[in-house]
Chain A
Amino acid sequence: MTQSPGHPVIPRLGETLLALATVVFGVLVIWQTTLIRLTPAYSKVGPRVIPYIVGAGLVLVGLWLAVEALTGRAAVGSSDSEDADPTLPTDWRTVGLLALALLAYLVLIERAGFIIASAVLFVWAAIAMGSRRYVRDIAIGVIMATVLFLIFNRGLGLDLPAGVLAGIV
């Protein structure tokens, strides 16, 4: 298999896993479909018909992808993004740090409130992605989170949680 210059050789393993995952997902959809309760009145075209079609479609697409993977049609990552270079290898450290930032947001949003959760997410994500001007980032994060909270809760009628800052803002 030849690769055009400038693109890294992505092992076909990834493609094979994609095909396998698609087939497994399709089988799961079909299995879950068998568990949908049927009401007698709808026995002809009931709630299971379309899910079966979707599940079968996924299995077929998975098989098609398997054929493509085995015949060596490996994809390079999407080149639509402005800031991503699809030829680089995956930087798992940054990805992991970002995932932790989202986890922190999930934990904080209902306990500490929107402002703290958003400020923490902003600063953490910015630093994870390489920003090194900590004071500026913290200032922007806190101000942005507070302003958004006030605009959306006071002006636009949303109900974002105030959390531990309830009574202050």
Chain B
Amino acid sequence: MQAFADLARGFEVALTPENLGWALIGVLLGTAVGVLPGIGPALTVALLLPVTYKLAPISAFIMFAGIYYGGMYGGSTTSILLNTPGESASIVTAIEGNQMARRGRGAAALATAAIGSFVAGTVGTIGLTFLAPFMVQIGLKFGPAEYFALVVLAFTTITALLGSSLARGLLSLFLGLALGLVGIDTLSGQSRFTFGIPQLLDGIDVVTVAVGLFAVGETFWVASRMRHDPDQIIPVKGTVWMTRQEWARSWKPWLRGTAIGFPIGSLPAGGAEIPTFLSYALEKRLSKHPEEFGKGAIEGVAGPEAANNASAAGVLAPLLTLGLPTSATAAILLAAFQRYGLNPGPTLFQQDPELVWGLIASLYIGNVMLLVLNLPLAGVWVRLLAIPRPLLYAAILVFAGLGTYGMSGSAVDLVVLYALGALGFAMRRFDIPVAPAVVGVILGPVAEDHFRRALQIAQGNYATFVTRPISAAILVLAALALIAPVAIRWWQSRRTLTPVPPSPVEP
């Protein structure tokens, strides 16, 4: 099969000593930064972007593969050992993992998360290997109208699935779209929303947006209401090896979590949250020990963590094959590609197969490295959690400045960064999700480009989006993604109004 030949070539690229070294550095940096409280996977990738600034593209992306998986893994360590999740995809891990840690099984929770991440990451990467060529074939057949519809679908799913209310999600998305408009319009060459500032002609970099909203915004939010009784870090005691019983209770959830996470992640629609919640609900239903859920059930760590990592692998499928990021982390990866003048999509597989397949091969390698490193190094990661918060956040501000100024060498970008930090602070105050804005900034110009090209082909006939069947079908799905959650909530609230007989108490 062609996929095997391509992958073999990818391994040839990824297995050179130099690229193995970059993969190792990426995995270590990604885990170390991902472990730090307040830094989720998206910010991990954004903050580490300057490190790869001057590398050759292949080495840079191999390192990124390590950072991406390492950041995912590091995040789960934080949620197990501190009770509070750094990102919504880790909420369920935090529930059960932290309870396990409190009961002296923290090491087993870390182990089942690590091995589950390995299983899910590897199976997910295999899935990516075989799905990618298939999606490339579909992608080659799509015209601008279909691509525009796909971007709209990504917008509506990311918006509808995140945050406390649809209005807030939409606000975040439109803020991102507005920021994405700044700069020269690629099709007409006119400058838009630049207010005469030459540094704005290139537009606002999505990395600046992500670092501003996530890092600076988060720092100010924490500073404005710092916990006076910080979460206790639970020391990891006992063996890192799981007992026979814990193995027996873990392996099925790993596989089920993977089976849920990868397909949902690889849809051109957003969200790592859904698979983790689905996996948790499924494990709770299937478990022989449902009474343990909420009190440290190992299935509740194994399943969702596998789902989380499998969907992280799945997210790479639309990113690499269609150029469609469906998470904030993927949006920043796309920005990294664009920095090198590369445009992920079907044509990248044809023009630069070594790069794409080298990246996919290094995902396999990074996964093995993470498994080998993380079990013995768990103690080191735990100590990172003990960094005093004032120093941690002060360092985050230093790195945010370094990344922004180091890339552009312009103080104007720092002003933009800090303004976005203020915006991020306000968004947290009003509980507005940040991820739709980050995706909006990078996909907004993409959507506009496809929109206008489609209209040029159709000679200005706006009906082209609904008369082309695939485009119309995708747009219907996009509309459903917005309407369905509202409809379900309305239906549920109607149902709870009718008297419900008390459910029998479980023995």
Chain A interface residues toward B at CB < 8 A: 14-15, 18, 22, 25-26, 29, 32-33, 36-39, 41-42, 44-47, 49-51, 54-55, 57-58, 61-62, 64-65, 68, 73, 75-92, 94-95, 98-99, 101-102, 105-106, 109-110, 114, 117-118, 121-131, 137, 140-141, 144-145, 148, 152, 156-160
* Contacting residues, chain B, for A14 (C-beta < 8 A): 429-430
Do A129 and B398 contact each other (CB < 8 Å), given the known contacts A75-B164, A84-B221, A157-B54? no
Select B398's contact among A81, A128, A148, beta carbons within 8 Å. A148
> Do residues B402 and A152 form an inter-chain contact, with CB atoms below 8 A?
yes
> Do residues A82 and B390 form an inter-chain contact, with CB atoms below 8 A?
no
> Do residues A54 and B178 form an inter-chain contact, with CB atoms below 8 A?
yes
Interface majority SS (helix, strand, loop, mixed), chain B:
helix
Min C-beta distance of B196 to chain A, whole Å: 11
> Do residues B84 and A81 form an inter-chain contact, with CB atoms below 8 A?
yes
Inter-chain CA distance A99–B415, complex, in Å, is 12
Inter-chain CA distance A160–B444, complex, in Å, is 31
**Which residues of chain B (9-67) have a CB below 8 Å from chain A?**
37-38, 50-51, 53-54
B226 at the interface (CB under 8 A from A): yes
> Do residues A83 and B226 form an inter-chain contact, with CB atoms below 8 A?
yes
Q: In the complex, what residue of chain A is closest to B84 when comparing beta carbons? A: A82
Q: List 8 A-B contacts (CB under 8 A).
A: A36-B192, A39-B188, A45-B456, A82-B86, A84-B428, A90-B224, A123-B394, A128-B390
Do A144 and B395 contact each other (CB < 8 Å), given the known contacts A36-B190, A98-B223? yes
B171 at the interface (CB under 8 A from A): yes
* Contacting residues, chain A, for B460 (C-beta < 8 A): 44-45
* Contacting residues, chain A, for B227 (C-beta < 8 A): 83-85
B246 at the interface (CB under 8 A from A): no
Q: In the complex, what residue of chain B is closest to A51 when comparing beta carbons? A: B181
* Contacting residues, chain A, for B82 (C-beta < 8 A): 82
* Contacting residues, chain A, for B192 (C-beta < 8 A): 32-33, 36, 47, 51
> Do residues B389 and A129 form an inter-chain contact, with CB atoms below 8 A?
yes
Do A110 and B181 contact each other (CB < 8 Å), given the known contacts A46-B188, A152-B406? no
> Do residues B87 and A130 form an inter-chain contact, with CB atoms below 8 A?
no
> Do residues A78 and B431 form an inter-chain contact, with CB atoms below 8 A?
yes
Do A83 and B230 contact each other (CB < 8 Å), given the known contacts A77-B431, A78-B221, A157-B53? yes
**Which residues of chain B (173-232) have a CB below 8 Å from chain A?**
174-175, 177-178, 181, 185, 187-190, 192-193, 216, 218-228, 230-231
B397 at the interface (CB under 8 A from A): yes
Inter-chain CA distance A157–B189, complex, in Å, is 32
* 16 other A-B residue contacts (CB within 8 Å) besides A49-B452, A102-B397: A44-B455, A44-B460, A57-B170, A62-B171, A65-B171, A77-B225, A105-B414, A110-B411, A114-B405, A118-B402, A122-B394, A122-B395, A122-B398, A126-B390, A130-B390, A131-B390
Inter-chain CA distance A102–B211, complex, in Å, is 14
* Contacting residues, chain B, for A75 (C-beta < 8 A): 164-165, 168, 430-431
Min C-beta distance of B382 to chain A, whole Å: 15
> Do residues A156 and B174 form an inter-chain contact, with CB atoms below 8 A?
no
> Do residues B226 and A42 form an inter-chain contact, with CB atoms below 8 A?
no
* Contacting residues, chain B, for A124 (C-beta < 8 A): 394
> Do residues A129 and B230 form an inter-chain contact, with CB atoms below 8 A?
no
* Contacting residues, chain B, for A110 (C-beta < 8 A): 411
* Contacting residues, chain A, for B428 (C-beta < 8 A): 77-78, 81, 84
Select B225's contact among A37, A44, A88, beta carbons within 8 Å. A88
Inter-chain CA distance A20–B415, complex, in Å, is 25
Select B167's contact among A42, A64, A90, A152, beta carbons within 8 Å. A64
> Do residues A81 and B88 form an inter-chain contact, with CB atoms below 8 A?
no
Select A158's contact among B37, B193, B389, B406, beta carbons within 8 Å. B406
* Contacting residues, chain A, for B216 (C-beta < 8 A): 102
> Do residues B190 and A80 form an inter-chain contact, with CB atoms below 8 A?
no
* Contacting residues, chain A, for B88 (C-beta < 8 A): 80
B451 at the interface (CB under 8 A from A): yes
> Do residues B224 and A83 form an inter-chain contact, with CB atoms below 8 A?
no
Min C-beta distance of B338 to chain A, whole Å: 19
Q: In the complex, what residue of chain B is closest to A22 when comparing beta carbons? A: B171
**Which residues of chain B (70-88) have a CB below 8 Å from chain A?**
78, 82, 84-88
B268 at the interface (CB under 8 A from A): no
Inter-chain CA distance A51–B179, complex, in Å, is 10
Select A54's contact among B164, B174, B187, B402, beta carbons within 8 Å. B174
> Do residues B401 and A105 form an inter-chain contact, with CB atoms below 8 A?
yes
B280 at the interface (CB under 8 A from A): no
> Do residues A127 and B390 form an inter-chain contact, with CB atoms below 8 A?
yes
Min C-beta distance of A160 to chain B, whole Å: 6
Inter-chain CA distance A130–B86, complex, in Å, is 22
Q: In the complex, what residue of chain B is closest to A129 when comparing beta carbons? A: B390
**Which residues of chain B (367-401) have a CB below 8 Å from chain A?**
388-391, 393-395, 397-398, 401
Inter-chain CA distance A44–B275, complex, in Å, is 43
> Do residues A145 and B398 form an inter-chain contact, with CB atoms below 8 A?
yes
- Tell me which of A22, A102, A127, A130 has the highest count of chain B C-beta atoms within 10 A of its own C-beta: A102
> Do residues B397 and A121 form an inter-chain contact, with CB atoms below 8 A?
yes
* Contacting residues, chain A, for B181 (C-beta < 8 A): 29, 50-51, 54
Sorted from nearest, which 10 A-B pairs have the closest CB atoms? A157-B54, A88-B225, A125-B394, A129-B390, A131-B390, A47-B185, A82-B37, A75-B431, A126-B394, A44-B460
> Do residues B225 and A109 form an inter-chain contact, with CB atoms below 8 A?
no
Inter-chain CA distance A104–B221, complex, in Å, is 20
Select A121's contact among B51, B190, B401, B444, beta carbons within 8 Å. B401
* Contacting residues, chain B, for A86 (C-beta < 8 A): 225
Select B190's contact among A39, A85, A102, A122, beta carbons within 8 Å. A39
> Do residues B86 and A158 form an inter-chain contact, with CB atoms below 8 A?
no
* Contacting residues, chain B, for A140 (C-beta < 8 A): 391
Q: In the complex, what residue of chain B is closest to A65 when comparing beta carbons? A: B167
> Do residues A84 and B225 form an inter-chain contact, with CB atoms below 8 A?
yes
Q: In the complex, what residue of chain A is closest to B410 when comparing beta carbons? A: A110
Do A82 and B388 contact each other (CB < 8 Å), given the known contacts A102-B397, A109-B414, A121-B401? no
Min C-beta distance of A93 to chain B, whole Å: 10
